[in-house]
Chain A
Amino acid sequence: EIVLTQSPGTLSLSPGERATLSCRASQSVSSTYLAWYQQKPGQAPRLLIYGASSRATGIPDRFSGSGSGTDFTLTISRLEPEDFAVYYCQQFSSSPPVTFGGGTKVDIK
């Protein structure tokens, strides 16, 4: 099973700042099978990034993904008030099981 470790657990930032979220895999993940999601309280997760770096439909260009192998990054270039949420990475490369990271909470400083 591929374990995804996200860091930091919590990121305290102000609107307008840049957020950099890390997702590290216990073994190599094919980039085409790495995704990122945003989840707000009481809501289902929303797909942000697939294929490690492709934005899903309707996702603003302040969200970007990068990385390969075992290290992946989600960057939010300038935080908007609606971006404060929990973010999860996910891999489909080695299944079963599909696995999620433990999440990074981005909260308001």
Chain B
Amino acid sequence: QVQLQESGPGLVKPSETLSLTCTVSGGSVSSGSYYWSWIRQPPGKGLEWIGYIYYSGYTNNNPSLKSRVTISVDTSKNQFSLKLSSVTAADTAVYYCARDHRWVRGSYGMDVWGQGTTVTVSS
């Protein structure tokens, strides 16, 4: 049973960099069928896809976040990470990591999610 767990600071100051890590247990981040994803949800609002990474290091990010997003993977630790730079209050949200299960011509969906971690941007 694969499980994901987010970790990182719950409070970040404006203009600083938000850093979160997702630890994968019960499975391997090096499995070839998955895109390891980050999604966020501002208070009382809907879901926003941030980006994903493949175990090889290939990434794809939401253009709306411009160049503020960096997603990386550490296969030795079975983790992947998110860095979001120059944060503002608008980046306050619950941040989720999730496994996006792909096949050649489709997706089996985001079938495993972390519990989410709340990040508040405030001085």
Contact A47 B47 (CB under 8 A): no
From B18-26, B70-78, B112-120, the one touching the partner chain is: B112-120
Residues of A within 8 A of B37 (CB): 98
Q: Chain B binding site: helix, strand, loop or mixed by DSSP?
A: strand
Residues of A within 8 A of B114 (CB): 44
Q: Known contacts A44-B116, A100-B46, A103-B46; decide if A95 and B110 are in contact (CB<8 Å).
A: no
Q: Known contacts A96-B63, A99-B49; decide if A51 and B113 are in contact (CB<8 Å).
A: no
Q: Known contacts A30-B106, A44-B114, A47-B110; decide if A102 and B64 are in contact (CB<8 Å).
A: no
Q: How many positions in chain A have a CB within 8 Å of any CB in the partner chain?
A: 28
Contact string against B for A residues 73-106, beta-carbon threshold 8 Å, 1 for contact and 0 otherwise = 0000000000000001010100111111111000
CA distance A37 to B113 in the complex (A): 11
Contact B61 A96 (CB under 8 A): yes
Contact A35 B46 (CB under 8 A): no
| Segment 41-78 of A: residues with Cβ below 8 Å from B | 44-47, 49-51, 56-57
| Segment 97-116 of B: residues with Cβ below 8 Å from A | 98, 100, 102, 105-111, 113-116
Closest 3 CB pairs of A and B: A32-B106, A50-B109, A44-B113
